Structure 1
Amino acid sequence: MKKIVAWKSLPEDVLAYLQQHAQVVQVDPAQHDAFVAALRDADGGIGASVKITPAMLDGASRLKALSTVSVGFDQFDVDDLTRRGIVLAHTPDVLTESTADTVFSLILASARRVVELADWVKAGQWRASIGPAQFGLDVQGKTLGIVGLGRIGGAVARRAALGFNMNVLYTNRSANPHAERTYGARRVDLPELLANADFVCLQVPLTPQTKHMIGAAELRAMKKSAILINASRGATVDEAALIDALQNGTIHGAGLDVFDTEPLPADSPLLKLASVVALPHIGSATHETRHAMARNAAENLIAALDGTLAVNIVNRDVLAGSAGRDS
């Protein structure tokens, strides 16, 4: 019987599904040596939010597939997995809408100062009619610049154009004809997007090319009234440069669901800035979506172990047989 290592707590029905197909060993990734030992004796693995290094897979000669309960896969060395002939699967579709909801909540909360003013009311500061000191910014009719118009970016564009009559600009490796036709989105280069967007929204995976793609120069290129929205990966933004830009008024504010270090340290300067809305990486965190992600990841893993997985594969070169498995 195949053996699967699970390094994340799974819903009971998802665990039962896996147990119908394989022996499931649940491990605590904090117990590093035990975790690595379990991988060396496994055919597959499922989990999230833990860095899986090449060294951890040395000696894992049976390992055929890994399945991450996430759309992002920056916790894995994809090239190394491909060289070893290990399929990596992810869950790109089931979290699209809930994550786009989170992105748009950051847009609204940042523009209308929802978190700041809710705390202000709870603190007993609302003693008279509000004035300009409590005013925010309009969202409807403004320009939204989306960096990375994939599934989630497209869902954000739909909300922006159809729900809030926003003008949508985007940068992407390739054109998105559907978004252009349906939402009036216009593809531009990054400098033009930064110069014209009232809200700059990052929806890119973390790769060597996207790490710190928004730094001091890019922040200076944005409107002084602009708000940066990041619900992709923390390291796509140079956090030190962002803090400096916010403290100096280079940009108006930021709505952030992701950070360089997570959990965000309690002494982070970001937490002292009223212009920042900071969330604890809740992008897909609804009961319904997280359950769907776990089920999807489990189904991906079983299909990969059976050799029938045709979707949600990060490293398709494995299937093409272009990389051999290390012994």
Structure 2
Amino acid sequence: MEKPCVLVPALGPKGIYQCFIPCIEEHFTTVTYEEFEKKQENFAEMIQAVFVWGCGLQVNKKLLQTLPKLQVVANGGVGVDHLDIPLINSFGVKVCNTPHVVDNATADIGMTLMLASARKILEGHDFSKYHESVYLAESTLGNDVSGATLGIIGMGRIGYKVAKRANSFEMKILYHNRNQRKEEEERAVGAVYCEKIEDLLQKSDFVMVVVNLSPQTRKLIGVKELAMMKPNSTLINISRGLVVDQDALVDALKRKVIKAAALDVTYPEPLPRDHPLLSLPNVIVLPHMGTHTVETSQVIVEKMISNTLAVLNGEQPPDEVKI
């Protein structure tokens, strides 16, 4: 029996890594976007699914109009702010994502960034590589994480997993959320609810942003919010780059309004090499690596496959995104 055809952004570093391709090709015939552009007339009637992985493939009106047999767009990851879901649905095409899979890996990267920033891990590594003296400079003194106060903005699934990890470090945990969690959930991680975000900002040594990107959260952290933070505090962003006003952050770091920042997400991604954030000594910037592990990526691919097969078999996919 002929396998259904799926359009993928690319194979390799520009798209889906080669190590995950055998799993996909067990169920589908893959067509890369480059192949599709070269021989559109050969593939347009064959493609029934599109895999969105990273930023290598834009599902826009033009593409949708060229794929009459398309039934499903499967997104690798939770966030779907890069997809125009009403537009895609208007073509009779379902959209699926991969929720819950990324929670642990993203919470891990949040803790990693906090610890690396607080304990000056990069400075220590550079000293080991380039030292001209055997003595550590005063500037390499870090800060204790244990016993410090962590403010979590956004206590959803990932935020709660961050709280669990932070609780193991004996941190004091504050959180701000649209809705307060149940008392037993708060008690389990020792978290205290802050109805007003300013209360959290003013009291936290570390502020970790773990919200979804929406019109309400766009530039949620700006000049006003940064000014409310402690001068010795650190901002950690593991949500989406646009949740933080980067110009305001650069200014706050230069003027020492806050002590440091550790970012897994920026806008754009990756940042241009001459971006001012990359030249500041009190900043760690990662190229959106929160879910970038073998294990998590494998499960993401498997969920993309199962969602796609469900749609193509006329079944309800487990992870359809509805607006």
TM-score, scaled relative to structure 2: 0.87
Cα shift readout 1:157-207 (whole Å, capped 9, x = no counterpart):
11001x211122222223332641310222222121111111111111222
SS class of match (1:254): strand
Q: Which range moves more in the overlay, 220-229 or 1-10? A: 1-10
Is 1:36–1:57's contact at 8 Å kept on the other side of the alignment?
no
Match of 1:3 in 2: 5
Match of 1:323 in 2: none
* Cα distance change, pair 14–123 in 1 and its aligned pair in 2 (3 A): closer
SS class of match (1:43): strand
- Equivalent runs, 1:1-327 vs 2, <5 Å: 2-9=4-11, 10=16, 15-28=21-34, 42-50=47-55, 51-128=58-135, 130=136, 132-161=138-167, 163-177=168-182, 179-188=185-194, 189-315=196-322
* Cα distance change, pair 123–18 in 1 and its aligned pair in 2 (3 A): closer
Higher RCO, 1 vs 2 (CA within 8 Å, ≥6 residues apart): 1
* Cα distance change, pair 37–267 in 1 and its aligned pair in 2 (3 A): farther
SS class of match (1:245): helix
Is 1:5–1:27's contact at 8 Å kept on the other side of the alignment?
yes
SS class of match (2:31): strand
SS class of match (1:211): coil
SS class of match (2:220): coil
Is 2:241–2:267's contact at 8 Å kept on the other side of the alignment?
yes
Cα shift readout 1:34-91 (whole Å, capped 9, x = no counterpart):
6899567522111212232334323433222111111221220122223333221111
Match of 1:324 in 2: none
Deviation of 1:13 after TM superposition, in Å, equals 7.8
One-letter identity of the residue aligned with 1:251:
I
One-letter identity of the residue aligned with 2:165:
R
* Cα distance change, pair 314–174 in 1 and its aligned pair in 2 (3 A): farther
Deviation of 1:276 after TM superposition, in Å, equals 0.5
Deviation of 1:280 after TM superposition, in Å, equals 2.1
Q: CA RMSD in A?
A: 2.5
Is 2:123–2:140's contact at 8 Å kept on the other side of the alignment?
no
Give distance in 1, aligned partners of 2:40 and 2:202. Answer: 48
Give distance in 2, aligned partners of 1:220 and 1:275. Answer: 17
Residues matched between the structures, number: 313
SS class of match (1:100): helix
Give distance in 2, aligned partners of 1:22 and 1:121. Answer: 48
SS class of match (1:94): coil
Give distance in 1, aligned partners of 2:255 and 2:297. Answer: 38
Give distance in 1, aligned partners of 2:239 and 2:37. Answer: 27
Unaligned runs of 5+ in 2: none
Give distance in 1, aligned partners of 2:41 and 2:245. Answer: 32
* Cα distance change, pair 310–52 in 1 and its aligned pair in 2 (3 A): closer
Give distance in 1, aligned partners of 2:38 and 2:218. Answer: 30
Q: Which range moves more in the overlay, 3-12 or 35-44? A: 35-44
One-letter identity of the residue aligned with 2:79:
G
